[in-house]
Amino acid sequence: MRHEIWLAALTDELRRHGVGPDLAAHVVAEAAGHLRDSGEPPLRAFGPPSAYAAAVADSVGGPVTVAGSAPGPVRLRAVDIFKRYGRRTVLSGVSLTVHAGQVAAVVGANGSGKSTFLGICAGLVGADGGHVELHGTVGYCPQAGGTADFLLADEHFALIGAGRGVPRAAAVREGARRAAALDWVPGNAQARHLSGGTRQKLNLVLAGLGDPDVLLLDEPYQGFDRGTYLDFWHEVWRWRDAGRAVVVVTHLLNQLDRVDIVLDLSAGSTGVAA
Amino acid sequence: MNRTMTIAEMTLRETVRRRGVLVLLLVLPLAFYLGRRGDHLGQSIRFVCLGLAWVLSAAALFVGSAARSLEPRLRLSGYLTHQLFLGRLLALWTLGLALSAPYFLLIRFDQHHVRYGAIAVIMLLGVLVAPLLGLALSALLPRDLEGMLVLMTVVGLQMILDPAGNAARLLPFWFSREIGTYAIDHTSVGYLDRGLLHGAVTALLLLVLVAVGFGVRLRRRSHVRIVGGLS
């Protein structure tokens, strides 16, 4: 790999790992200097850009979080949620409170009721007991579906934007900006021609369009490559820092130390988190 | 109004991109027309009107079914339920007019001694009623196949049942046979009046069915209370 390409990839990976621009520029300059002086191939000297960026991020503590700061007003309060499918109890007395500026992760094994719980929070699935309060507007990203096969990305932006009262041109601009944050440039492809991962990027962009107060994301990263997965979490942290309440259904545990609340539905379909 | 028009626009965009479907929508009524043109010109008019109603109902059924996974998200994004189904109906009514126009012209130049105005009324009522029927089926039945089977049953019965019998009056396109008789056989204006009344009542009932079906499916569940957000 040529030096310039490796350094450019390192710059991207440092950004994805939440390393600030000043520090990233310094790291890249240091690496460039070392490569120039030593004449070593970059892969031999530093390894893959993603691995080196991860090591740098770990050494400086990763992205800045606002953990410990006072939470904002309550945005989502789910109290004592019960749900049965036939004789099978899926959720039993599950509660969750998420404030503005917080990220909650809903975790659990397959079939533990994570998506059902999110659907109940969104009001898309009925509950057999309990209640949900939503304060403000809601953006929802389903695990699958949620897009129209024969529409372009820009048309999706216009469609969701119209619902939120965002003018068409502004919605398309905002969609393109959010897509760029996920390393995606929407083109002229209909949704049915997008790959699974890119379709999920579209889904995620649609969820955030119009800056809803509460974001409910149901495993939105399916099909994402590793870099986009990191981009996704950075988007989540940006939402949190902008005062949004974010609920992410996930079964990947390696980001849980960076969320504010964890609701684990594995243990007997009950859980309380606040 | 902006939201309803946006839904209509996107529905039309989606539909016109299905070129194969568009060709079939346009050709199927022609098969109905040509099938009886050789031996009974009047029947060919009745059948082409039924064919148009059938393809429009089928198109509406698939439009409604295709939108099922997207509509909950649209509701959460701020759309009201009536904006969703009215937008789709607007698009389907526009599509219906575009599909019917060439057939009206065909009849205008291919058939003589018929009441063209009444034939236009049949087509307009068909354009009004057929999308309502398809959308009602998509709202009430969970999958395409069930809806398509019901639609085939309705259209099949429409062709089999004696139009003079009471049972035929319960079918959604009975008006087309009644007004068709007025247009082709030059019967009394009573046929036209009965057809118009039947078409109007059918359209109204189906509109209520669509509104109820969409309303139930996309209702905000009672356990959710939204404070300061969208309805």
Q: Which of B10, B224, B226 sits opposite A148 (nearest CB)?
A: B10
d(CA A256, nearest CA chain B) in Å: 27
pLDDT tens across B43-87, in order?
Answer: 899 899 999 999 999 999 999 998 988 999 999 999 999 999 999
CATH topology classification for A74-273? Rossmann fold (3.40.50)
**Confidence tier at A87 by pLDDT (50, 70, 90):** confident
Q: What is the pLDDT, as a whole number, of residue A235?
A: 86
The pLDDT mean for chain B works out to: 91
Cα gap B116→A41, rounded to integer Å? 82
Chain B residues in contact with A120 (beta carbon < 8 A): 221, 223
Q: What is the pLDDT, as a whole number, of residue A256?
A: 63
Look at B215 and A144; give whichever has higher pLDDT. B215
Q: What is the pLDDT, as a whole number, of residue B129?
A: 97
Q: What is the pLDDT, as a whole number, of residue B195?
A: 94
Q: What is the pLDDT, as a whole number, of residue B164?
A: 81
Say whether B74 and A159 touch across the interface (CB within 8 A): yes
Question: Is there a domain that residue B127 lies in?
Answer: yes
**Confidence tier at B98 by pLDDT (50, 70, 90):** very high
Q: Is the confidence at residue B100, as pLDDT, over 90?
A: yes
Hey, is the C-beta of A188 within 8 angstroms of any chain B C-beta? no
Hey, is the C-beta of A189 within 8 angstroms of any chain B C-beta? no
Chain A residues in contact with B17 (beta carbon < 8 A): 150, 190
Q: What is the pLDDT, as a whole number, of residue A42?
A: 81
Residue range(s) defining the domain that contains residue B136: 2-217
Chain B residues in contact with A166 (beta carbon < 8 A): none
Give the number of other Cβ atoms within 10 Å of residue A245's Cβ: 31
d(CA A127, nearest CA chain B) in Å: 7
- Measured in degrees and rounded to the nearest 5, phi and psi for residue A135 equal -105, 100
Question: Is there a domain that residue B227 lies in?
Answer: no
pLDDT tens across A128-167, in order?
Answer: 999 999 999 999 998 878 899 999 999 999 999 999 999 9
Say whether B77 and A148 touch across the interface (CB within 8 A): no
**Confidence tier at A220 by pLDDT (50, 70, 90):** confident
Mutation target for A interface from B74, B224, B230: give the one with most A CBs within 10 A.
Answer: B224
Tell me the CA distances in angstroms from B23 to A30, B16, B62, B128, one per residue in order. 63, 10, 16, 21
Q: What is the pLDDT, as a whole number, of residue B101?
A: 95
pLDDT tens across A163-193, in order?
Answer: 999 999 999 999 999 999 888 899 889 999 9
Hey, is the C-beta of A140 within 8 angstroms of any chain B C-beta? yes
Q: What is the pLDDT, as a whole number, of residue A64?
A: 46
Give the start-to-end residue ranges of the domains of chain A: 3-60, 74-273
Q: Is the confidence at residue A269, as pLDDT, over 80?
A: no
Chain B residues in contact with A158 (beta carbon < 8 A): 6, 10
Q: What is the pLDDT, as a whole number, of residue A197?
A: 86
pLDDT tens across A37-57, in order?
Answer: 777 788 777 777 877 777 777
Look at B33 and A5; give whichever has higher pLDDT. B33
Which chain B residue lies closest to A123 (C-alpha atoms)? B221
Q: Is the confidence at residue A80, as pLDDT, over 70?
A: yes
Q: What is the pLDDT, as a whole number, of residue B62?
A: 92
Highest-confidence segment of A58-62, A208-212, B2-6, B69-73: B2-6
Q: What is the pLDDT, as a whole number, of residue B197?
A: 96
Say whether B13 and A155 touch across the interface (CB within 8 A): yes
Cβ-based contacts under 8 A for chains A and B: 106
Question: Is there a domain that residue B224 lies in?
Answer: no
Question: Is there a domain that residue B191 lies in?
Answer: yes
Hey, is the C-beta of A127 within 8 angstroms of any chain B C-beta? yes
Q: Is the confidence at residue A62, as pLDDT, over 50?
A: no
Q: Is the confidence at residue A232, as pLDDT, over 70?
A: yes
Cα gap A206→A118, rounded to integer Å? 17
Q: What is the pLDDT, as a whole number, of residue B213?
A: 94
| Interface ipTM > 0.85 | yes
Total of domains in chain B: 1
Say whether A210 and B227 touch across the interface (CB within 8 A): no
Cα gap B181→B184, rounded to integer Å? 5
Provide the pairing of β-strand A74-85 with A88-99: antiparallel
Q: What is the pLDDT, as a whole number, of residue A103?
A: 92
Q: Mean of the pLDDT values across residues B141-153?
A: 89
Place of tokens 């019965």: B157
Q: Is the confidence at residue B144, as pLDDT, over 80?
A: yes
Nearest to B173 by CA among B147, B201, B145, B139: B201
Question: Is there a domain that residue B173 lies in?
Answer: yes
Hey, is the C-beta of A124 within 8 angstroms of any chain B C-beta? yes
Mutation target for A interface from B68, B76, B227: give the one with most A CBs within 10 A.
Answer: B76
d(CA B99, nearest CA chain A) in Å: 21
Say whether A145 and B18 touch across the interface (CB within 8 A): no
Q: Is the confidence at residue A268, as pLDDT, over 70?
A: no
Q: Which of A127, A134, A190 sits opposite B229 (nearest CB)?
A: A134
Tell me the CA distances in angstroms from A182 to A10, A39, A128, A144, A147, one per residue in order. 17, 34, 37, 18, 18
Chain A residues in contact with B6 (beta carbon < 8 A): 158-159, 162
